[in-house]
C-alpha cells in the first residue's frame, strides 16, 4: 500500500512541467563540466605537445653533442704510429669518421626541427622563450644562427 503512494508521487513529478526543466538543466551542467573544458583547451594541447617535442629535440641535440665530442676525442687519441700500417687502425678511423659525419648530419636535422618547433610555438604564444638560449649554445660551442 505504501509503495503505491511513492509511485503516485513519482508519476506526478515526471508528468509535471518542472521535470523537463530540471532534466535539461542537469544535462546542461553535466555537458558544461565534462565537455566544454576540453573544447576550450584544444589550442593548449597543441602548444603543450609542441613544447614537449621541442624539449625532446633539445635533449636529443645535447646527447648527440656529447657523443660527437666523445667520438672526436677517441679519434684524436688513436695512435697514428701503431695503427698507420694495420688494417684495424684504418678501419677504426673510418668507423669513427663515418660516425662523426652521421652525428653532424643529425645535428643539422635537429637544429632544423628545433627552429621549426620554436617558430610554431611563437605563433601560438609570442612571448615564449625556450631553454635553448644563447648561453646554452655557447656552453656547447654552438654558434647560434639568426632567423
Question: Residue 73: CB partners within 8 Å, gap ≥ 6?
Answer: none
Of 147, 135, 141, 131, nearest in space to 59 by CA: 131
pTM summary value:
0.57
pLDDT of the chain, 147 residues: tens digit per residue: 456 678 888 888 888 999 999 999 999 998 887 776 555 555 667 888 888 888 898 889 888 888 888 888 877 776 555 555 565 566 667 777 788 888 889 989 988 998 898 888 888 888 887 776 655 665 656 555 554
Amino acid at each position: 500500500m505504501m509503495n503505491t503512494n511513492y509511485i503516485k508521487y513519482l508519476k506526478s513529478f515526471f508528468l509535471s512541467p518542472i521535470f523537463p526543466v530540471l532534466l535539461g538543466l542537469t544535462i546542461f551542467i553535466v555537458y558544461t563540466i565534462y565537455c566544454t573544458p576540453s573544447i576550450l583547451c584544444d589550442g593548449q594541447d597543441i602548444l603543450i605537445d609542441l613544447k614537449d617535442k621541442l624539449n625532446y629535440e633539445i635533449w636529443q641535440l645535447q646527447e648527440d653533442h656529447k657523443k660527437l665530442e666523445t667520438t672526436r676525442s677517441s679519434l684524436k687519441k688513436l695512435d697514428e704510429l701503431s695503427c698507420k700500417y694495420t688494417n684495424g687502425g684504418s678501419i677504426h678511423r673510418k668507423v669513427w669518421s663515418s660516425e662523426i659525419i652521421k652525428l653532424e648530419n643529425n645535428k643539422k636535422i635537429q637544429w632544423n626541427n628545433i627552429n621549426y618547433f620554436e617558430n610554431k610555438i611563437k605563433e601560438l604564444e609570442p612571448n615564449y622563450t625556450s631553454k635553448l638560449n644563447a648561453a646554452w649554445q655557447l656552453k656547447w660551442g654552438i654558434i647560434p644562427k639568426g632567423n
